[in-house]
Amino acid sequence: MKKILSSLLIALCLLQLGSVWIPRAVSIKGRQYRNIAGIASAVNMRSRRIGKFFICSGASRNLRLELSHRRMYWNGMTVMLGYPVLLHNGGIYVSESDWQSTLKILFFPASVPRHPIGVITLDAGHGGNDQGAAGKYSLEKSITLKLTQRVAALLRACRYRVHLTRSSDTAVALKTRTAMQRARKSDLFVSIHVNAAKNKKVHGIETYCLTPAHAPSTNGKFELKRNPANRFDSNNFALARNLQYAMLVRTGAWDRGVKRARFAVLRDITSPGVLLEIGFISNPAEERKLNNPAYLEKLARGIAQGIIAYHRDLRPRR
Ligand SMILES: [Zn+2]
């Protein structure tokens, strides 16, 4: 009887995902969490704690979580979580929101909803009298236009239909950019920007996707809202992760991670979408690179490759 009760209890605490049973969410201090060691062992990954890190590895996958922090690394690439990793009664927990919107997609890529990709909208940030960030001798609006046009050419060569929100140095309102995506019913939206910071040493690439509903953004804003594009949460993250990875591999740039924000161009689209920050114009070395055609070509190929990798992951399995 005791044995039956204990196996019933275990079954109640597990949830089936495909053919794998993973631990159910538990409530800790009023928030839902998942035990990450339990999930790792369900997918045959070894896990251990080393100082402030909790590491799960196996089957050519490696997850490194930083206890009490929102930063984690998947196969070496940085991903920002919504809530800090929790150490509770000797167990390591991630929030249910982070499990659903981030970790589940990494552990179970096949859980990402499939969709056709024929038409892609590329959005070159800024333009016209909105020059974006300014470096010593170049402007964000010119770099984003040049790069976007090159990405479009690469994708068209791979038989995608590509629309641009602007193809010249003109100002386009943010709401017009998302309206264009909706009107053209495109299957993906990629917005391209150049970063800037007061500290000239700051450099590297980061990719943003929409903050999941009711979760905080990476920059610390706790505007816990739901936005129309939240229905693509899994796809948004899968796209962001493919793009960040492909850009880093092509360029060797510093990895600032996959982050979350409720940017206007990510909120109101009717397809999965991301916003890329391809480097800091305020960093002298990075400004030089962003104005070097060979480096821009690496970035363009990285972006095209990231989109194609996302598409390939979503193709129906035989
Ligand atoms: Zn910008």
Q: At what angle do helices 293-314 and 233-251 cross, to 10 degrees?
A: 140
Q: Containing H/E element for 93?
A: strand 91-95
CA distance 248 to 256: 10
Same domain, 52 and 134: no
- Say how many Å lie between the CA of residue 133 and the centre of ligand 1: 6
224 found inside a domain: yes
Instruction: State whether 134 and 275 are in the same domain.
Output: yes
* Ordered DSSP codes for 3-37: HHHHHHHHHHTEEEETTEEEEPPEEETTEEEEEHH
pLDDT in tens, 45-84: 999 999 999 999 987 899 999 999 999 999 999 999 999 9
If one counts the domains in the chain, the total is 2
Q: Do 282 and 162 sit in the same domain of this protein?
A: yes
Ligand 1 geometric centre to CA of 155 (Å): 22
Q: What is the pLDDT of residues 219-244, one digit of tens each?
A: 876 677 888 889 999 999 999 999 99
Of 89, 109, 129, the last residue of a domain is: 109
Phi, psi of 67 (to 5 degrees): -60, 140
Query: Which DSSP symbol is given to 86?
Result: E
From edge to edge, which strands make up the β-sheet containing 273-280? 46-50, 53-58, 61-66, 71-74, 77-80, 255-261, 205-210, 273-280, 188-195, 119-124, 161-164
Contact 166, 172 (CB under 8 A): yes
Nearest to 128 by CA among 177, 176, 171, 174: 171
Q: Which domain holds residue 14?
A: 9-109
How many A from CA of 299 to the centre of ligand 1? 16
Could you tell me if 141 and 289 lie in one domain? yes
4 lies in a domain?
no
Same domain, 163 and 209: yes
Is residue 178 domain-shared with residue 80, that is, in the same domain? no
| Residue 36 CA, ligand 1 centroid: distance in Å | 36
- Do 50 and 144 have their domain in common? no
If asked whether residues 137 and 158 sit together in one domain, one would say yes
pLDDT at site 12: 47
d(CA 127, ligand 1 centre) in Å: 10
Residues 147 and 260 in one domain: yes
Residue 249 Cα to ligand 1 middle (Å): 23
Identify the pLDDT of residue 76.
Answer: 94
Secondary structure class of 119 (helix, strand, coil): strand
